[in-house]
Amino acid sequence: MKFTEEHEWLREEGDEIVIGITEHAAEQLGDIVFVELPEVGTEVSKDDECVVIESVKAASDILAPIDGEITEVNEALVDDPGKINEDPMGDAWFIKIKPAEPEQMDDYMSEAEYRDMIS
Protein backbone atom coordinates (compact mmCIF):
# COMPACT_ATOMS: atom_id res chain seq x y z
CA MET A 1 0.00 0.00 0.00
CA LYS A 2 0.96 3.61 -0.55
CA PHE A 3 -0.25 6.68 1.35
CA THR A 4 -0.80 10.35 0.48
CA GLU A 5 -0.27 13.42 2.63
CA GLU A 6 -4.07 13.90 2.37
CA HIS A 7 -4.58 10.63 4.32
CA GLU A 8 -5.66 8.44 1.42
CA TRP A 9 -4.40 4.92 0.85
CA LEU A 10 -3.77 3.26 -2.50
CA ARG A 11 -3.54 -0.49 -3.07
CA GLU A 12 -2.71 -2.23 -6.32
CA GLU A 13 -5.14 -4.97 -7.36
CA GLY A 14 -4.18 -6.40 -10.71
CA ASP A 15 -4.19 -3.50 -13.20
CA GLU A 16 -6.36 -1.29 -10.95
CA ILE A 17 -5.65 0.94 -7.97
CA VAL A 18 -8.10 0.79 -5.04
CA ILE A 19 -8.43 4.06 -3.11
CA GLY A 20 -9.78 4.84 0.36
CA ILE A 21 -9.01 6.94 3.43
CA THR A 22 -6.86 5.94 6.36
CA GLU A 23 -7.98 5.11 9.88
CA HIS A 24 -6.40 8.39 10.99
CA ALA A 25 -8.55 10.36 8.52
CA ALA A 26 -11.73 8.51 9.54
CA GLU A 27 -11.00 9.23 13.22
CA GLN A 28 -10.37 12.92 12.51
CA LEU A 29 -13.62 13.25 10.53
CA GLY A 30 -15.81 11.61 13.16
CA ASP A 31 -19.08 9.91 12.24
CA ILE A 32 -19.44 9.91 8.46
CA VAL A 33 -23.03 10.50 7.37
CA PHE A 34 -22.90 10.99 3.57
CA VAL A 35 -20.79 9.89 0.60
CA GLU A 36 -21.03 11.05 -3.01
CA LEU A 37 -19.20 8.82 -5.48
CA PRO A 38 -18.34 9.50 -9.13
CA GLU A 39 -19.76 7.66 -12.13
CA VAL A 40 -17.97 4.56 -13.41
CA GLY A 41 -16.17 5.46 -16.62
CA THR A 42 -15.24 8.96 -15.46
CA GLU A 43 -11.74 10.02 -16.51
CA VAL A 44 -9.88 11.76 -13.69
CA SER A 45 -6.61 13.62 -13.49
CA LYS A 46 -4.42 13.70 -10.42
CA ASP A 47 -5.86 16.17 -7.88
CA ASP A 48 -9.36 16.22 -9.42
CA GLU A 49 -12.14 16.06 -6.83
CA CYS A 50 -13.60 12.58 -7.17
CA VAL A 51 -15.40 11.74 -3.91
CA VAL A 52 -17.25 13.94 -1.41
CA ILE A 53 -17.71 12.78 2.17
CA GLU A 54 -19.55 14.53 4.95
CA SER A 55 -19.27 13.85 8.63
CA VAL A 56 -20.88 15.36 11.68
CA LYS A 57 -17.80 17.62 11.89
CA ALA A 58 -17.01 18.61 8.29
CA ALA A 59 -17.28 17.99 4.56
CA SER A 60 -14.21 16.74 2.74
CA ASP A 61 -13.25 16.24 -0.87
CA ILE A 62 -11.20 13.22 -1.80
CA LEU A 63 -8.85 14.05 -4.65
CA ALA A 64 -7.78 11.58 -7.30
CA PRO A 65 -4.20 10.59 -6.43
CA ILE A 66 -3.48 9.39 -9.98
CA ASP A 67 -4.63 9.91 -13.57
CA GLY A 68 -6.95 7.27 -14.97
CA GLU A 69 -10.45 5.94 -15.47
CA ILE A 70 -12.79 5.03 -12.64
CA THR A 71 -13.67 1.37 -13.15
CA GLU A 72 -15.69 0.67 -10.01
CA VAL A 73 -17.25 2.52 -7.08
CA ASN A 74 -18.22 1.10 -3.69
CA GLU A 75 -22.00 1.61 -3.86
CA ALA A 76 -22.40 0.05 -0.39
CA LEU A 77 -21.02 3.27 1.11
CA VAL A 78 -23.87 5.35 -0.32
CA ASP A 79 -26.41 3.34 1.67
CA ASP A 80 -24.19 2.92 4.74
CA PRO A 81 -21.51 5.65 4.95
CA GLY A 82 -20.79 4.60 8.54
CA LYS A 83 -18.84 1.64 7.12
CA ILE A 84 -16.03 4.12 6.54
CA ASN A 85 -15.67 4.57 10.30
CA GLU A 86 -15.86 0.81 10.87
CA ASP A 87 -13.35 -0.44 8.27
CA PRO A 88 -11.64 2.44 6.43
CA MET A 89 -8.65 0.37 5.36
CA GLY A 90 -10.66 -2.62 4.13
CA ASP A 91 -14.26 -2.95 2.95
CA ALA A 92 -14.86 0.81 2.95
CA TRP A 93 -12.76 1.64 -0.13
CA PHE A 94 -14.21 4.38 -2.36
CA ILE A 95 -13.15 3.82 -5.96
CA LYS A 96 -11.01 1.72 -8.26
CA ILE A 97 -9.03 3.44 -10.99
CA LYS A 98 -7.31 1.96 -14.02
CA PRO A 99 -4.21 4.17 -13.99
CA ALA A 100 -3.05 6.01 -17.10
CA GLU A 101 0.44 6.27 -15.57
CA PRO A 102 1.02 3.52 -12.97
CA GLU A 103 4.39 5.05 -12.07
CA GLN A 104 2.51 7.87 -10.30
CA MET A 105 2.22 5.40 -7.40
CA ASP A 106 5.95 5.95 -6.82
CA ASP A 107 5.20 9.52 -5.65
CA TYR A 108 3.56 8.31 -2.43
CA MET A 109 4.69 7.21 1.02
CA SER A 110 5.19 3.73 2.38
CA GLU A 111 3.21 2.75 5.47
CA ALA A 112 6.24 3.45 7.69
CA GLU A 113 6.70 6.91 6.17
CA TYR A 114 2.98 7.66 6.63
CA ARG A 115 3.04 6.56 10.29
CA ASP A 116 6.04 8.86 10.87
CA MET A 117 4.12 11.77 9.30
CA ILE A 118 1.04 11.37 11.52
CA SER A 119 2.94 10.73 14.75
Number of H helices, E strands in the chain: 4, 9
pTM (predicted TM-score): 0.94
Instruction: Give the model's pLDDT for residue 67.
Output: 98
Contact 75, 37 (CB under 8 A): yes
Domains of the chain: 2-101 (2.40.50.100)
Q: Cβ-count burial of 77 within 10 angstroms (0-12 exposed, 13-18 middle, 19+ buried)?
A: buried
Express each pLDDT in 9-33 by its tens digit: 999 999 999 999 999 999 999 999 9
